[in-house]
């Protein structure tokens, strides 16, 4: 859904490359692209992380359509595997993006580790940060996400998941202590 909206926003000159780890969700997205003539949107049935590999996934609950990389919290659920790539590898294949949209269900720091070369081109970024809802299962905290975005190179805005308003982050101690969205707007021209 988000990829479809972004595809419409980019117009005829842009394109959106969207990765979906769930085979079912990816197949539905591909059908939606065809039905809505979204020729500037490419759906790839892969996960994204910090290296090329195969990852084991599980649903957090039986009613959720989102899948998560297996963690301590999700062990014991049915665990399909999927091929994983990196944002840096995608950038080599498709070109460096102007915008990164990262919503990977607690795996955001691993994804950012696989984007170090891409981040040197200072794309604008949206990252859903899963503080208190699973980020810690992988050994990370919110500050680990923020460390990828130099305060002098980006204007950083955050919004706790339940709020409607983004606030500019003035100091790192103001990071939300709960699930939040982070927007990093590049100051590079």
Which domains are seen in the chain, by residue range? 1-45 (no CATH), 46-186 (3.40.50)
Q: Output the CA–CA distances (angstroms, integers) from residue 158 to 128, 175, 178, in the order listed.
A: 10, 8, 11
**pLDDT value of residue 31:** 94
pLDDT tens per residue across span 146-179: 999 988 899 999 999 888 899 999 988 889 999 9
pTM of this structure? 0.87
- Which residues are bridge partners to 54 per DSSP? 83
The dihedral of CA 86, 88, 93, 94: what is its sign?
positive
CA 174/CA 161 separation, integer angstroms: 15
Three-state DSSP at 10 gives helix
Q: What 8-state DSSP symbol labels residue 24?
A: H
The segments of the chain whose pLDDT lies below 50 read 60-64, 71-74
**pLDDT value of residue 189:** 65
pLDDT tens per residue across span 119-128: 999 999 999 9
**pLDDT value of residue 73:** 47
**pLDDT value of residue 62:** 44
């Amino acid at each position: 859904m988000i990829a479809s909206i972004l595809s419409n926003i980019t117009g005829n000159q842009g394109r959106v490359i969207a990765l979906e780890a769930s085979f079912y969700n990816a197949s539905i997205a591909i059908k939606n692209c065809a039905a809505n003539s979204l020729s500037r949107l490419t759906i790839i049935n892969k996960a994204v992380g910090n290296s090329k590999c195969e990852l084991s996934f599980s649903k957090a609950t039986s009613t959720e359509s989102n899948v998560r990389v297996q963690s301590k919290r999700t062990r014991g659920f049915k665990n399909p595997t999927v091929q994983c790539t990196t944002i840096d590898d995608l950038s080599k294949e498709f070109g460096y993006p102007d915008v990164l949209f990262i919503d990977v269900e607690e795996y955001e720091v691993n994804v950012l580790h696989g984007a170090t070369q891409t981040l040197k081109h200072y794309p604008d970024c949206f990252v859903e940060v899963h503080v208190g809802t699973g980020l810690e299962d992988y050994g990370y905290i919110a500050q680990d996400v923020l460390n990828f975005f130099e305060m002098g190179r980006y204007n950083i805005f955050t919004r706790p998941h339940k709020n409607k308003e983004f606030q500019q982050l003035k100091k790192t101690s103001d990071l939300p202590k709960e699930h939040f969205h982070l927007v990093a707007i590049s100051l590079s021209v």
